[in-house]
Structure 1
Amino acid sequence: MIPAELSGRRIAVVNWRDPWHPAAGGAETYAWEMATRFASAGARVHFVTARAPGQKRAETIDAVRLARMGGTFSVYILVLWWLLRRRGRFDAVLDCQNGIPFFTPWVLPRRTEVFCVVHHVHDRQFAVHLPHWLAVLGCFLEGPVSRWTYRRCASVAVSPSTVLAMRERLGWTGAIHIVPNGVSLATRPREPRSPSPRLVCVGRLVAHKRVDLLLDAVGNLRERWPDLTVDIIGRGPEEERLRARLPEGVTFHGYLQVGDKERLIAAAWLQVNASQGEGWGLCVLEAAALGVPTVAFDVDGLRDAVRHGETGWLLPEGTELAKGIATALDELTETCSDRCREWAAGFDWDHSAERLARLLLGLPVSSGWEDGP
C-alpha cells in the first residue's frame, strides 16, 4: 500500500511520451502506472510530455493532469521552460530518461527531490537510429552530461542489467534503486493454445528490435513445421519496410486493443524477442502472465525478464534464431507455461508504485529487490 504521507504531495512525472502517443511503448506504460497510483493515493500529479498531432495540450485522465508540448526534440526545451515557470511548485519530479533525460535539476530548486528513472542505456542504439554526429551527441548527453547533472540525485532503474550498464557504460556513481515493471494480466484465465505451432512478436517496430531476424527464421522453421505461423503485433517506423518482405505464414496486426492482443498472445506457443537490448522487456512479463514463454537473446534486460530453461530460452548473441526457436519448440512442455505464470505473478504495479513512493518520501523500502551496487 502506498504510504499515506504521499497524499497532498505535488509530483511531476516527466516522460518523453504518454501512453496515447503513436510511438508509446513500455516506458510510457511504466510512467503512467506510477502516475495514476500516486494520484489515487492523494498526490497532485502532473504528467508532462510531448504532444502528438491531434492530442490535446492539456487534459485530466484518472486524476492525473497531462501537459503536452513539443515534438521529438523540442519537448526537452519546452518542458524545462514549463518547469522553470513553476519553479518551487513541486515536491518531487520523476525525470524519465529515454536515451536522454530532461535535465530537470537545471531549473528546479535544490529542495525539490529529483529521481532520474532509467529503463536502459541507449549508447549502442544511438548508432542504429541516428546519423553519426547525432549519435555522438546522444552518447555525450546520456553519459558525461547526465552523470554530472544527476550526481546529487538518486536514480531508479528497472532491472539489474540497467544498474550494471549505468555503472559500467555511463560511469554512474550515485545511488541507484531498482523498481521493476509490473504486469496487469497475472490473474487472467487460461485461454486455448493454437493446435499448430504459432509464434508471436510484440513490440515497437524499430531497428534495434531486429524483427528482420525473426522473418529470416520463418522459412527454415516452416520446412520442419509447414503449418507454423507468426503474429507480429505493434507499429513503428520499420513497419512499411518489414511488410514489403513478408514471408508466407506471417501476419502483421499493427496496434491492437488490449483484449485482442492478449488473445493472440495466449494462442501462441512461444513469444520471440530478437531485440539487441531492453531495460526489462515488459512484453516478456505480459506473455508469461498468459502462460507463454519467450525466446530471446542473452542481452541487457531480457536476461532479467527471462529465466533461462524455466520461463523461456536465452540465446547467445550470434546464435541462429531459427535453431534457437526450434530447440525451444522441441523442449516446450505444459510445466513451462505454469512456471511462466508463477514468475509473472511476482510482479505487480501496486508493489512497484509503493516501492517508488517510499523512495520519494525517504522511507525504508520493502524487501524483495536489492538496490543496485
Structure 2
Amino acid sequence: MVNVLITTWRDTGHPESGGSERYVERIAVGLAASGHRVTMFCARPAGGPRDEVIDGVRYVRRGGRLTVYLWAVIAVLRLRPDLVVDVQNGMPFLTTLVARCPVVVLVHHLHKLQWRSWFGPVLGRVGWWLESWVAPRVYRNCRYVTVSEHTRTELALLGIDPERVAVVPNGLDPVPHVTSGRDSRPLLVVVSRLVPHKRIEHAVETVARLHRRWPDLRLEIIGRGPSAEPLAAYAAAHGVADRVTIHGWVDEQEKHEILARSWVHLCPSVKEGWGIVVMEAGAHGVPTVAYHAAGGVGESVLNGKTGLLADDLDEFVTAVEGLLKCGLMRTALGEASREYVAGFEWEHSVRSFDRVVRAVLAGQPVGNASRHTPAAT
C-alpha cells in the first residue's frame, strides 16, 4: 500500500471549485479504490469540516486562499507520505523543498493570462514568474502529469523535458437520464465558474449581436462566482437582460436537463486544461464553440468535427450563427461529439495515473507510457 498525499488549493466541496478539482477528486477516489492510502490536503472554506473521509479518501482542510500553501508544507512534514501529488493550479506548493519522497506535479494548464486578469500587470508578473521560472527549477527532478498534449507542449517551452510529462486526460461521468428534449427555440448554454478569465461576457455579447436576427434566441448560464453581478449588468447594458438567465449553482440533474435542451454550448474561456463540460455537452449531442488559443480545449473540441474553434470574437459569433442556421451541421457535429466523448472513461484515467505513481516509485520513466487516445474517435 502506497501512502499518497495530494496537495491542492481546493476540493469539490469548495464554493470556488471547478473542473480541475473534479479531475483531482476522481483520480484520488480511483487511487484509493486501487489500494493506495490517499490523503487530500486543501483549503478549508468558511464553515467547512476540517477532517473527513469520503469514498475512501481522507480529506484534511486547513488554511485559506494563501495560507493553505504554508499548511501544506506542514502536512508534508507531519504525514510523511510515500509520494506527493503537488497540484500546481498556477501557484506552486513547492512541496519538493521539504518532501523526503518523490513528488509528482499535476498541471492542468499554465496561467499567464489568468495571473494578469486576477491581479493586474504588476502582481500578475510576479505570479507568472513563480509559475514559469521558480516552479520549473524547484521541480527540476520531478515527473509531471497533465491533461492535454497542448499543456505538455507549453511545459516544454518552460524547459520541462516532455519525457518527464505524462498525459492523462479527463474521464467522463455517466450521464444521468434526462426528460428534456431539444428546445424548439434556439438556446445557447454556458457552464462555468463565473470568473474574469472565463470571459462569459463573450457569450452575452454573442446574444447581443444576434438577437435581432434571431428574436427567440436565449442564453442560459450555469455557475457561480464573483462575475455573476457584472454579467447581469453587462446583459442589461447590451439590451439582452430578458434573454440571458444566470442560474447560479444547480445540481447535476438540472445541469444535464439544461444541456439536453440546448442547441450550442459556448466555451469562451481564455484558457482551459481540457474542458470537462465540453464532454458533458457532447454526451447530449450538443456541439461546442470555443477559441483556438484556449489550450487543451482544442483537443476536447475537434474543430470542424465535434465543434468549432474561433480566433476572435467576430469569428466566435459567426461560428455560433452558422450552427444556429444549419441544423444539419449542428446535428452532425453534435453526434460526432457524442461518439468522441464516449471514449473517455475515468477508469482509464485512473489506471494511467496509477501507472505514473508506480513508475515514479520504481524510478522508471513515465512520459509516453501514460499517454492514450480515447476508445472512440
TM-score for both structures, normalised by structure 2: 0.91
3-state SS of paired residue (2:203): helix
2:339 to 326, 331, 342: 342
Correspondence for 2:302: 307
Identical aligned residues as a percent: 37
Instruction: Please give the secondary structure, in 1, of the residue aligned with 2:155.
Output: helix
Hey, what's the Cα distance between the residues in 1 that align with 2:174 and 2:266?
19
| Among 2, 7, 30, the residue aligned to 1:37 | 30
Does the CA contact (< 8 Å) of 2:178 and 2:253 recur in 1? Answer: no
Asked if 1:323 corresponds to 2:318, the answer is yes
Alignment of 1:37-186 (within 5 A): 37-86=30-79, 89-109=80-100, 112-168=101-157, 170-173=158-161, 175-185=164-174
The runs of 5 or more residues in structure 2 that have no matched partner are none
State the Cα distance separating 1:264 from its structure 2 match: 0.3
1:255 matched to which residue of 2? 249
**Quick one: which amino acid aligns to residue 98 of structure 1?**
N
Which residue pairs with 2:291 in the alignment? 297
Q: Which runs of 5+ in 1 are unaligned?
A: 1-7
Letter in 1 for 2:252: V
Q: Distance in 2 between matches of 1:316 and 1:340?
A: 21
Alignment-mate amino acid for residue 140 of structure 1: W
Q: 1:199 touches 1:270 (CA, 8 Å); kept in 2? A: yes
Could you say which structure has the higher helix fraction?
2
CA-to-aligned-CA distance 1:212-250 (integer Å, 9 cap, x gap):
111112122221211111100001111111122332211
Please list the CA deviations of residues 336-367 of structure 1 after superposition, one character each: whole Å capped at 9, or x if unmatched.
Answer: 22211111111111100100001110178466
8 Å CA contact retained: 1:313, 1:328: no
1:9 is displaced (CA, Å) by 1.2
**Pair 58,165 (structure 1): closer, same or farther in 2 beyond 3 Å:** same
**Aligned residue pairs, count:** 358
What is the Cα-based RMSD across aligned positions, in Å? 1.8
**Which of 14, 19, 40 is residue 26 of structure 1 equivalent to?**
19
Provide the C-alpha distance between the structure 2 equivalents of 1:94 and 1:43, rounded to a whole number of angstroms. Answer: 13
Find the aligned partners of 1:314 and 1:190 in 2 and give their Cα distance.
30
DSSP 3-state at the match of 2:87? strand
Cα pair 1:204 1:234 within 8 Å, conserved: yes
AA in 1 matched with 2:260: A
- Which is further off, 281-290 or 316-325? 316-325
Go from structure 1 to structure 2 and tell me whether the alpha carbon gap of 1:68 and 1:193 turns closer, same or farther (over 3 Å shift): same
CA contact (8 A) 1:200 1:230 kept: yes
CA 144–200 in structure 1, closer or farther in 2 if over 3 Å, else same: same
Give SS of 1:117's match: strand
| Alpha carbons 2:178, 2:260 under 8 Å: kept | no
Which amino acid in the other structure matches residue 212 of structure 1?
E
Q: Aligned partners of 1:366 and 1:81: how far apart in 2? A: 31
**Structure 1: how far apart are the matches of 2:210 and 2:345?**
35
The 8 Å contact of residues 13 and 93 in structure 1, kept in 2 or not, is answered as yes
